[in-house]
Amino acid sequence: MQNNYRKIEPAPVLDKTANAICIPYANVQLFQNCTAQYEVRQITEIPTLPDGQVLPAMWGPVLMTGSIVLSGDDYNSWGADDNYLYEKVAEKLGLTLISETETGQ
């Protein structure tokens, strides 16, 4: 199951520890730029139940929110890979994504 968030290295935000970035939507101006709305959150993943059922993560409050514009080379390099969008948002915020292979997502 594809998650609609990406894990980040734990980072202090306000009085909490953020561990995920969510990009609820991206407004694209074709061939020009993309404005990505982001949320930095604290999430709690639920372990797989003994019967194999996988429950969705529990979302904590939004710790930081905003938008970032990708244009020029950043926009042109995006293509169809949404992971690139997460990488660029994390980079611009000074956060470090955790590889999906490390987390098993």
- Check if the beta carbon of residue 5 is closer than 8 Å to that of residue 20: yes
Per-residue pLDDT reduced to its tens digit, 21-37: 999 888 888 889 999 99
Q: From CA 60, how far away is CA 75, in angstroms rounded?
A: 30
Residue 14's pLDDT band (cuts 50, 70, 90): confident
> How many percent of the chain have pLDDT more than 70?
92
